[in-house]
Amino acid sequence: MVDIKKVVVFGASGNTGLCCTEAATKQGYDVTAFVRNPYKLPQSLATQVTVKVGDILDTSAVDEAVKGQDAVIILLGTRNDLSATTVMSEGTKNILAAMDRYGVKRVSACLSAFNFRERAKVPERFLPLLDDHERMLNALKSSNQEWIAVLPPHITDQPGCGDYISEHGNSPGRMISKYDLGHFMVSCLSDDANLYQLCGICDKSQT
């Protein structure tokens, strides 16, 4: 089991990113939050972490955030924008390249549960965004890192139950609280059984 003390969260100011960053602090990690807009971090949380401001497509900013870390968490998203993009996959590639440069091995990345499905069974409106999630997954698989791909279903704003279910290679249910997902994005890093796995997750009540 790898000894993880320092973690950087990319996308730390997003809906799930905030929950993940808070979960990491509560689990005792030294946390770096990588954000584009530092004002989206609540002051109560910003005072507990190291804040790095930058763009995920700026390799120098990404390098500075990754240097000296023990693990990386990737929570890149487009909020409700379903249009075609390459930002998430290109950002992931920049992160993985920085990890190579600085010898950081372990990474968890949030993708989409649609990666479990055949494309023909995915609603057409989600396909452009799924294309970039697939590129993210391929980047992880072809990297030298100890990767964990977390594929949540619909993410809700409901309070975390703390009693969620995770499975390898399958989506066990329909919904997951952003708080429980944030917790798992951190906790999965310390369990070697998750390495090189596509991890499905859901709230226990949603199986």
* Cα angle 186, 192, 196; round to 5: 90
Strands 146-151 and 30-35: unpaired
d(CA 23, CA 6): 13
- What values do phi and psi take at 43, rounded to 5? -60, -35
Active site residues: 110, 188
